[in-house]
Copies of this chain bind each other. A is one copy, B any other.
Amino acid sequence: MLFNKVSIIGFGLIGSSLACCIRLHNLAKEIVAVDCDRTVCEKALELGLADSAMVDLRNGVEDSDLVILAVPVGACGAVAETIRYSLKEGAIVTDVGSVKSAVVEAVQPHIPAHAHFIPAHPIAGTENSGPEAGFAELFDGRWCIITPLPETDIQAVEKITKLWEACGSTIEIMDVKRHDLILAITSHLPHLIAYTIVGTATDLEDDTMDDVIKFSASGFRDFTRIAASDPVMWRDVFLNNKEAVLEILQRFNEDITGLQKAIRKGDGDYLESAFTRTRDVRRQVIDAGQGG
């Protein structure tokens, strides 16, 4: 057994999926669900995903070997501050956030010397939220990026590695800053774009929107799936990875302005060459086993 007692704070899609995995693979003796929403706590018990459930953070982490912060990234700092005096000797605190620099800055100062903080980010998710959205296969075959700090205890890193490997994930160790840049490109900008394009469509007249829904299979529908992701989680991602997101968004804006001009001027050569060079990326994605 990897852990004696595990506390999962925030019992949404990721938290409940982790509970499913821990149960399925027998990774802990006891699971505590901690969520500020009492109905979520009740649901966690009802689904049999936790041995106990509570809204109180301090009680929730008592005696736990592992405390998983599965709340929106903007909430991690306040949670860490609240639980700091309740963490037991040798406790490992980890998170699952899509942003690492801001989380490390917010959480690390509150981690007592007798505990360890291991920042982690499973590259997995669906557009569904809440405790009922969780399932044990969510992390299977997916990457989990761990961004240990220079001073991090190596044995604690190993335990978190084992946890994610048991969930079926492959581990990548990465620098905090680099994580935030890569994710800004692969995840944060795509989500921002998808939210924008679906938002632009919802401003159309009702009957136009009806036809947009009806014929959405021609491209639009792929964006609606992404734009259905949890609003609070994503609000926090953008607020907490501001710098990297704004930088990559700036580049995107320059590129779309170039294409816009080419369309306006009827510059077919520009368009064709722009559309040709992106083709090869798909092949690379498939070759990397990420074709989905």
Q: Which residues of A contact B (CB under 8 A)?
A: 74, 98, 123-125, 127, 142-143, 145, 172, 178, 181-183, 185-204, 208, 211-229, 231-232, 234-236, 238-239, 242, 245-246, 248-249, 251-253, 255-256, 259-260, 263-264, 266, 268, 271-272, 274-279, 281-285, 288, 290-292
Contacts and interface: CB of A to CB of B under 8 A. Distances in A.
19 contacts: A178-B211, A185-B208, A187-B219, A189-B197, A190-B219, A190-B223, A191-B219, A196-B256, A200-B255, A213-B288, A213-B290, A222-B222, A222-B226, A227-B282, A228-B283, A231-B279, A234-B275, A236-B268, A239-B263
B217 A274 contact: no
A216 B255 contact: no
Contacts of A214: 143, 172, 288, 290
Contacts of A204: 185
Given A182-B212, A215-B186, A199 B290 contact: no
Given A182-B211, A219-B191, A224 B256 contact: no
Q: Please give the count of copies of this chain that the complex contains.
A: 2
A201 B278 CA distance: 9
Given A198-B278, A213-B285, A231-B271, 15 more contacts: A145-B215, A185-B200, A185-B220, A186-B215, A186-B219, A189-B200, A195-B259, A200-B252, A222-B292, A227-B282, A232-B272, A234-B275, A239-B271, A249-B263, A253-B260
A18 B158 CA distance: 56
Contact of A242 (B182, B227, B266): B266
A267 to B, nearest CB: 9
A218 B278 contact: no
A142 B263 contact: no
Contacts of A235: 268, 271-272, 275
A197 B277 CA distance: 12
A251 B203 contact: yes
A38 B292 CA distance: 35
A228 B196 contact: no
A196 B257 CA distance: 10
Select the residue from A143, A187, A199, A222 with max chain B CB neighbours within 10 A: A199
